[in-house]
Structure 1
């Protein structure tokens, strides 16, 4: 009798495990679609109806294959040397991920790659029911342009991306306001232009007359290894004032007053915005800080110096700025706590600001939404 019970337990347990593994490698694929971020003709990654993602990769010599979304998934090898797995449900919007083969992180050859995480990484776009604001629509479209400029700060040639609104080339007598927008750590000037969907967001806002036509300038905020230290922040401040703004105003049809300039950034770019923007309110009338705040305790001395400056210059800051807009990605945002500490300090110092919160963490779905809500507030 004891042996029979043991056998039944084994069969039930094994059957459950087999079914579980089968669901991971051979799930119901009805209603599934290849990710729009797949390279041309690639079926996988395959997005299932419940936002789970199925991966299938051929790696005959590999000993172990994983997919890393922050959480790692072990793929299972079949007899044809294909490795497969189906993830848990992945949040809507854009996400970086890595393919790990025997512990080595690499980009998935079946997916488009993006510069993020400090290297070229795979990216996947999970369909988003609320993503109509960055969908491709039958509206007038602007352009994304790439320009080279010489930096007297770095003594090197650098590049930036520029969004020009619909009609920019035709309306040769019109000048436009400018939003300078900055990427986060581990990214560069390509971030807002590709992962951020800046052109589509702006095209749709302008078409709906929710935002004024404007240029959006996307520079590279990486100036050396110490980007989060005061030397790096000072270097970027100099880059903006000595190189980027003069280049744009000498080469594009833009209005060159502070009332027609805005500066914003996400994460590391938000810290650059705090440093460059608060100390230079004679340059900018609008500041946007997304998923950011002074990093405690690493930047305490930098923050304390700025808070002292704010205390002494609160009337000037409040008078110069038409909008100081701060946003966080909910409590799951890694910058949330530091952001709340900073907000409390602003209240204490009497610095006027607006606060917006959109749940989603420290991710591109949040920052796209931030741009969508920030841009209509500019240049009124």
Structure 2
């Protein structure tokens, strides 16, 4: 693909952001992860009366000695990516000494606790792909939209080769940046490709909480991607997946449009239950997927991969497990996985890591 100067500048800026998010040295006063996976926080707030840190559902009061910083060490934390906030005299704020991410509907601080023996999302000395920023006009919204597109390292060196595409959606309270900065999608794919464990593919990450997203995706985003990239533009080479809210979109859009997508991934969706009374109607195969009951063989022929997952500590887990079992009993070939962790990025990283290895075989 020939890049315009505007595209080159946007792509270069984006790659600098990605590199900064993963490789920059710790800032002064940044949280320190201890050997037991507890975390020590400190903050300079000389005028404050009370300071705490809110992480993993618990507020830890901080203590100040003399004129120095406020400090606290947490309990040992579960491995994975955790948003947190400082609480200063009753007001929540992000930590100026930490990296910031768009999550929980706002600019949030976060810390990534390493998991022993798990390195598939860590930077390694392998060929690196690009994450490219694509701006495109939305006729339905009458505004410009931005999609992030992962491109494998080999893409520009194979000008005659075409590629399958995974459309990957974020969760509620996050945006199109989440799967790159929090999820480490590009690193996960680069590592898998270097090991020969998945097919080279493009991954499109777009903002999913604006207007009629089904219309935007099917009529605007996909045509844009097919026009700008060398794609295999048929359902057998197109997949959709998402986490939480994005998992529900993968069901309502991806699963309901087999003429567009042949593979679906649903990570930690609340549509099966576990998110509060009245949030969703009770799940039943009869009401949600009558086409499966009508002809299981035809349904399975149209869906190469039907993947569902959830964290073992997520309140959605038993509802998701029962839904997967009901679908399997009705004849669907569902791959179900449960991972340690709650409604958070570590199970979603593991879900993506497993899901992409099943695609486009």
TM bin, normalised by shorter chain, reads 0.7 to 0.9
What is the distance in 2 between the residues matched to 1:369 and 1:93? 11
Equivalent position to 2:140, from 153, 157, 182: 153
Equivalent position to 1:269, from 246, 251, 275: 246
Q: How does 1:109-124 map to 2 (within 5 A)?
A: 109-124=96-111
Give the count of matched residue pairs. 335
Which region of structure 1 is more displaced relative to structure 2, 196-205 or 338-347? 338-347
**1:100, distance to aligned residue in structure 2 (A):** 1.1
Q: Deviations over 1:218-255 (max 9, x none)?
A: 1111125xxxxxxxxxx221111111111100111111
Aligned to 1:53: 39
Aligned to 1:281: 258
What is the distance in 2 between the residues matched to 1:355 and 1:281? 20
Q: Which has the larger radius of gyration?
A: 1
Do the aligned partners of 2:27 and 2:98 also contact (CA within 8 Å) in 1?
A: no
Aligned to 1:91: 78
> Measured at CA, do residues 153 and 334 of structure 1 come closer, stay the same or move farther in structure 2, by a change above 3 Å?
farther
The two structures have a TM-score, normalised by structure 1, of 0.83
The answer to whether structure 1 residue 321 and structure 2 residue 303 are counterparts is yes
What is the distance in 2 between the residues matched to 1:350 and 1:104? 52
What is the distance in 1 between the residues matched to 2:146 and 2:256? 25
Aligned to 1:255: 232
Equivalent position to 2:193, from 199, 206, 209: 206
**1:312, distance to aligned residue in structure 2 (A):** 3.6
Aligned to 2:281: 300
> Measured at CA, do residues 276 and 268 of structure 1 come closer, stay the same or move farther in structure 2, by a change above 3 Å?
same
Q: How does 1:213-228 map to 2 (within 5 A)?
A: 213-223=200-210
Do the aligned partners of 2:29 and 2:43 also contact (CA within 8 Å) in 1?
A: no
CA RMSD of aligned residues (A): 2.0
Aligned to 1:338: 319
Q: Deviations over 1:164-213 (max 9, x none)?
A: 00121121111111111111111000000110001110001001000011
Aligned to 2:340: 359
What is the distance in 1 between the residues matched to 2:133 and 2:167? 14
* Structure 1 portions without partners, runs of 5+: 1-34, 225-234
**1:135, distance to aligned residue in structure 2 (A):** 1.7
Equivalent position to 2:354, from 363, 373, 380: 373
**1:301, distance to aligned residue in structure 2 (A):** 7.5
Aligned to 1:73: 60
Aligned to 1:238: 215
What is the distance in 2 between the residues matched to 1:261 and 1:163? 14
Q: Deviations over 1:235-276 (max 9, x none)?
A: 221111111111100111111011100111111110000100
Do the aligned partners of 1:38 and 1:111 also contact (CA within 8 Å) in 2?
A: no
What is the distance in 1 between the residues matched to 2:295 and 2:143? 35
What is the distance in 2 between the residues matched to 1:216 and 1:265? 12
Which region of structure 1 is more displaced relative to structure 2, 343-352 or 264-273? 343-352
SS in 1 for 2:332: coil
The answer to whether structure 1 residue 125 and structure 2 residue 112 are counterparts is yes
**1:334, distance to aligned residue in structure 2 (A):** 2.5
The two structures have a TM-score, normalised by structure 2, of 0.88
Do the aligned partners of 2:149 and 2:203 also contact (CA within 8 Å) in 1?
A: yes
Equivalent position to 2:174, from 184, 187, 192: 187
What is the distance in 2 between the residues matched to 1:107 and 1:36? 19
Q: Deviations over 1:105-155 (max 9, x none)?
A: 111000010000000100111122233211211111100111111122322
> Measured at CA, do residues 152 and 305 of structure 1 come closer, stay the same or move farther in structure 2, by a change above 3 Å?
farther
